[in-house]
Amino acid sequence: MNVLTTNHQCIEDVAAYLDGELDDAALEVFEGHVKTCAGCAQELRTQRQLLCTLNRAFEESGAFELPQDFARLVATHAESDVTGLRGRGERRRAFKVCAVLALLSFALLGAASRACPIVLTSRGESLRSRLENNL
């Protein structure tokens, strides 16, 4: 029996009961519980009604034929309908964010390339000043 039954949320147990999946001991416990719990009894009635309605609907509906290329048609329509998933404003925002990130990247790379690390030589003068003096 499912732990949910003790919390009076026995939807899974009701489904297992209707599907005939409960063993004898669980079946006996469930039927005893439904007699004392109005909420679970109502859930059982609701699910039974739903099953009866579905059975009746399937019995009344006539058989219908699907086109031979039905799977291909569904796949084609699904692939071609992807264009409507993103709105114009969302694409515009994404472009702006990408542009800002690109500009920021170029600015940081430019700043990093201009910065020359100061390395002291053995005489205490910086490598940068030596390079400037040689130019």
pLDDT digits (tens, 9 = 90+) for 67-80: 888 888 888 877 76
Report whether 96 contacts 89 (CB < 8 A).
no
- Global pTM value: 0.41
Burial letters 25-59, b for 16+ CB under 10 A, else e: ebeeebeebbeeeeebeebbeeeeeeeeeeeeeee
| pLDDT at residue number 121 | 54
Mean of pLDDT values over 4-22: 74
Report domain extents, the chain. 3-60, 99-135
Mean of pLDDT values over 93-116: 85
Question: Cα–Cα distance between 58 and 63 in angstroms, integer?
Answer: 9
